Structure 1
Amino acid sequence: MTIVEDRPETAEAPPPRRANPVWGLLRNSWRQLTSMRTALILLFLLAVAAIPGSIFPQTAVNRERVSQYYTAHPQLAPWVDRFGGFEVYASPWFAAIYLLLFTSLVGCVLPRLRDHLRALRTVPPDAPKRLDRLPQHAPARTRPETPAAAAESLARLLRRRMFRTRVRELPDGGFSVAAEKGYLKETGNLLFHFAMLAVLVGVGFGHWYGWHGNRILVAGEDQGFCNAITQYDDSALGPWVTAADLPKFCIRMTDFQASYQSTGQPRSYLATVQVKEGSGAYRGSSFTVNDPLRLHHANVHLIGHGYALELRYTDRYGVTQNRVVPFLPTDGMQTSEGVAQFPDVNIDPKTNQRDDSLQVGFEGVYLPTGGTDGSAVSQFPAENNPVLYLTAYRGNLGLDVGKAASVYALNRGQINNGELKKISGERPQPLRPGGTWTLDDGSKLEFVGTREYATLAIRYDPTQALMLVGAALGLAGLMLSLFGHRRRIWFRVSPANDREAGGSVVEAGGLPRTDYPGFAAEFAALTGPATDDGHAEEGTP
């Protein structure tokens, strides 16, 4: 006979739940991004990424130097531009590092701030059972006070030293005194990181709401400048700024003084200007390289200097036109290149029609101090022996085709296709102030003189104050984090063995929570008088 045992049916165990691989990847990536190691790496990368901004000229600061770099390095410059070397701080790769660093700092600082606030609310922990196992230990000594009085005296001593103190009563009738100090180290760390976040926010908002522009301002009341987009040589507005948002002011330069060392290095620049803001009257002011002109919602920085040539051209019909043309320096001695273009000349008075083939242009080199060897290089940046070398062209200048063109160079395309030709038989002529050059058709060019000009960088950044405060707080936080040291000290006060005689026995131990070479001396200074036979004096160090 076969006996069949009845067994209860058991439900099959559910299959293990598979983790979502996408969620796991995102969680691990977030942990890696918000780790302190990643934040340090990104900070280092940001510093490295900013190096090209110091090596290569930046379009936003000085477009002229970018043009000079193209001239000096025609093969390298296009590659630098392709990788954003002339606009480092607006390049996608710099923005990517910037945003990753911002995200990493936020994810890293917020949990640390939560833990720090929790630690500030938590009382110091009770003394461990074996104080002799701590890095610093003071053996038991007797005191004449009762345990309660001794514990209170020790607590007062530690509070005077700015320790957070907690006194606890023990089951055996004794007391323990727990003290902790050095929370400013973590406070400094958090302050430093929040200051960095403030700087990053300032950079971002400054880019969104700020604007800047560069302008060459020639001395003279007829060369004034008013704050409008059309009057800048180059400009850039933040994404949330329009041309109508620009503040209203006008500037005209009345004088410019430059002094040089014997080697030709600039010693000082001083621009004297008249400024009118809004509907007010003109007022006098001056500024230098390191002391900008501060206006309402704008700062005017002096970043360069050069010479503008005043030329007078009289065409074949006796009509005269004047031009004040800035020449751009090509070296530290102010060897300068530029062009003067006269498109509206040689108009026939009988028909009042302009012949485009009779337009005139001049290009050349100006030397503030020409040498005796006839070389086209200035010997000194001041005007000690000024000379101008010009080459004359006649034809269609190509200014009426509607395409953007540089005002500091002739249209090379017009020269290459034969529309603009060098006047035959005319060699480059050396002219000095007051000199005249007569061309083959009887027209004349007079070198009237020069005026000095200043290259201005006009900028507005609404977050400058925030970045200044962030930098100051970052420095303060760094000092706190470097000089702050977290440590703990415990005293265990027990009743003396001879209870009838009274008194108490005090044992001490100390634990540095961070690397602190001076902790042993501090511990000895605290525990020496505190555990000696007698009361701890108020003025005891």
Structure 2
Amino acid sequence: MTVVEERPAPADAPPPRRPNRAWALLRNSWRQLTSMRTALVLLFLLAVAAIPGSVLPQRSVNAENVAGYFREHPELAPFLDRLGGFDVYASPWFAAIYLLLFTSLIGCVVPRLADHFRALRTVPPEAPRRLERLPQHAAAEARPDDPAAAAATIAATLRRRRFRTVVRERSDGTWTVSAEKGYLKETGNLFFHFALLAVLVGVGFGHWYGWHGNRLLVQGNDRGFCNSVTQYDESSLGPRIDASNLPFFCLRLTDFSATFQDTGQPKSFGAKVDVQDKQDGPWRAEEFTVNHPLRLPQASVHLLGHGYAPILRYTDRFGEQQTRIVPFLPRDAMQTSEGVVQFPDVNIDPKTNKRDEDLQVAFEGVYLPTVDPKGTPNSVFPAERDPALYLSAYRGNLGVDAGLPGSVYALDRSQLANGQLKQVSGVRPQRLAVGQTWTLDDGTKLEFLGTRQFATLSVRYDPTQPLVLGGAVVGLLGLMLSLGGRRRRVWFRVSPPETSGAGDGGSLMEAGGLPRTDYPGFEEEFAQVVAAVRDERTP
């Protein structure tokens, strides 16, 4: 048995260093965070976290839908609200996943970028001594030229095939050519990850500094609108944007053209508008289509759809007339449209100048651009070939004076339920063609004067849209390079005549190849490279 004698430490020796547990924890946590596996997990979590934003209504998109969800689910909605279910993309947990993914990608890509630069500057290694042990090998054969010239010819041939080459001479007179190819695989990987970072940055800043609004714009110079939050049907501003930051411009729809196939499928939509982009400035004419939006300073106007707005004139019991131009919303591809026309300020007694709230009038129904000859309540073609308006009359309190928000495209059903608004008794739903008049039971009249077309517009501004688009393009190119790149190495060894036995002035050439990644076609490529080298001869 061997006895090991323990020697005491010198008196002046420094005390042993204790490991810093906090630093070790931080270092290990950073390594885990910046690993590719963690980045993939965070990317998956980000996709999962976005699902509630698609399933649940969001306050930033439509606050009325959120209020409706609270009414339909009074117990579940408050719980989801505490979790940020109605503000998913502004919630702390979504931001945490987003920032962790961003940090993980930076920590993963930057070291790989440095390693890739070092690899690009590193020359291919020297040829192995036993080329026959490599996965691909070409047996030695005699060449008529000397080793130096043969090596130069081989290197030139490989460079023409986009190989990085290095020619070396050994002490025994043997010349070797080392060649490598396939660095674009890692370059593509880096491009893809940097593109993903660009997209994340673009989406984040685009959400902060972007805005959008939707507007249903009826044709006519009297129906225009200006860029203001209050004039949009629905709008959403980024957290860093205030209503006062919106740029000034005004639009009015002067004409709308739509063409359809025989089956009713839309062929083309085109809108003509007048634009004013300076306060009290001149108006200019512009045109845009579905795939070619109207480009304005700091905004783009997209054409989403179109429909029809019937023009109705009502004459009350005192002979006063009011005209309404009300859009009817399409419910199918053939432009069968539903809507309501309300006249709350009618039947005002001229003697007392007072209005009876129980004598308010509304008409609800459908508009058919082309009536079905078979009598079905649906349009058979989206263009106005045989238009007709089917309406039912209502009289009573419309509920518009209560100060509560409501839809302009449907009657208040609560007023119908409590009996304050009733369908006019004894009056059946009436069909009206353009120019026809409907006389009600109290002598009042409704005239169908025609229609105007309307366009559904989406006005958007995203300052990082070019960055996101560029990131998507670069990411696609990087993915193609990554999938198509294969890193591989080939070596050629040319022995001098003294050792090759090839005779005076001759040399002996041997080749070997090694794929650095999985590459099923390397055997064929190696054979092509060797054949190309064999065909080359120095002059």
**Shorter-chain TM band:** 0.7 to 0.9
Shift of 1:236: 0.8
Native 8 Å contact 1:309 1:325 kept in 2: yes
Give the Cα separation in 2 of the matches to 1:58 and 1:294: 28
Give the Cα separation in 2 of the matches to 1:239 and 1:45: 24
**Alignment deviations for residues 202-234 of structure 1 (CA, whole Å, 9 cap, x no partner):** 222222221111111111111112222111111
Shift of 1:360: 2.3
Give the Cα separation in 2 of the matches to 1:317 and 1:125: 101
Aligned partner of 2:410 in structure 1 is 409
In the alignment, structure 1 residue 212 sits paired with structure 2 residue 212: yes
Native 8 Å contact 1:142 1:496 kept in 2: no
User: Which amino acid in 2 is paired with 1:315?
Assistant: D
Aligned partner of 2:3 in structure 1 is none
In the alignment, structure 1 residue 506 sits paired with structure 2 residue 513: no
SS in 1 for 2:382: coil
User: Which amino acid in 1 is paired with 2:224?
Assistant: G
SS in 2 for 1:108: helix
In the alignment, structure 1 residue 523 sits paired with structure 2 residue 526: yes
Give the Cα separation in 1 of the matches to 2:523 and 2:364: 78
Aligned partner of 2:360 in structure 1 is 359
Shift of 1:310: 0.9
Shift of 1:363: 1.9
Larger mean CA deviation between 211-220 and 394-403 belongs to 394-403
Give the Cα separation in 2 of the matches to 1:337 and 1:486: 63
Give the Cα separation in 2 of the matches to 1:465 and 1:522: 40
Native 8 Å contact 1:226 1:251 kept in 2: yes
* Residues 1:160 and 1:257: Cα distance change in structure 2 (over 3 Å): closer
In the alignment, structure 1 residue 197 sits paired with structure 2 residue 184: no
* Residues 1:330 and 1:156: Cα distance change in structure 2 (over 3 Å): closer
Native 8 Å contact 1:507 1:531 kept in 2: no
Paired residues for 1:79-478 under 5 Å = 101-143=101-143, 146-279=146-279, 280-372=281-373, 374-478=375-479
Structure 1 length-normalised TM: 0.82
Aligned partner of 1:4 in structure 2 is none
* Residues 1:528 and 1:326: Cα distance change in structure 2 (over 3 Å): closer
Shift of 1:32: 5.2
Give the Cα separation in 1 of the matches to 2:318 and 2:460: 46
Shift of 1:417: 2.9
Larger mean CA deviation between 452-461 and 194-203 belongs to 194-203
Shift of 1:119: 0.8
* Residues 1:32 and 1:481: Cα distance change in structure 2 (over 3 Å): same
User: Which blocks of at least 5 consecutive residues in structure 2 are unaligned?
Assistant: 1-5
* Residues 1:441 and 1:185: Cα distance change in structure 2 (over 3 Å): same
Shift of 1:324: 0.6
Larger mean CA deviation between 336-345 and 517-526 belongs to 517-526
Pairs aligned (count): 519
Native 8 Å contact 1:63 1:234 kept in 2: no
Structure 2 length-normalised TM: 0.82
Shift of 1:327: 0.8
Give the Cα separation in 2 of the matches to 1:498 and 1:306: 90
Native 8 Å contact 1:214 1:235 kept in 2: yes
SS in 2 for 1:497: helix
Shift of 1:100: 5.4
Shift of 1:118: 1.5
Shift of 1:357: 3.0
Give the Cα separation in 2 of the matches to 1:8 and 1:135: 54
* Residues 1:355 and 1:143: Cα distance change in structure 2 (over 3 Å): same
Shift of 1:356: 2.8
SS in 2 for 1:264: coil
Native 8 Å contact 1:182 1:487 kept in 2: yes
**Alignment deviations for residues 121-156 of structure 1 (CA, whole Å, 9 cap, x no partner):** 222112222111011222334445554444444333
Shift of 1:260: 2.5
Shift of 1:470: 1.9
Shift of 1:399: 2.2
SS in 1 for 2:328: strand
Give the Cα separation in 2 of the matches to 1:288 and 1:62: 26
Give the Cα separation in 2 of the matches to 1:316 and 1:387: 26
Native 8 Å contact 2:393 2:429 kept in 1: yes
* Residues 1:148 and 1:453: Cα distance change in structure 2 (over 3 Å): same
Native 8 Å contact 1:141 1:531 kept in 2: no
Native 8 Å contact 1:157 1:536 kept in 2: no
In the alignment, structure 1 residue 489 sits paired with structure 2 residue 490: yes
Aligned partner of 1:3 in structure 2 is none
Shift of 1:158: 3.0
**Alignment deviations for residues 13-46 of structure 1 (CA, whole Å, 9 cap, x no partner):** x99979959975x766655554444545665676
SS in 2 for 1:192: helix
User: Which amino acid in 2 is paired with 1:304?
Assistant: G
Native 8 Å contact 1:309 1:450 kept in 2: yes
Shift of 1:443: 2.6
Shift of 1:461: 1.6
* Residues 1:259 and 1:148: Cα distance change in structure 2 (over 3 Å): closer
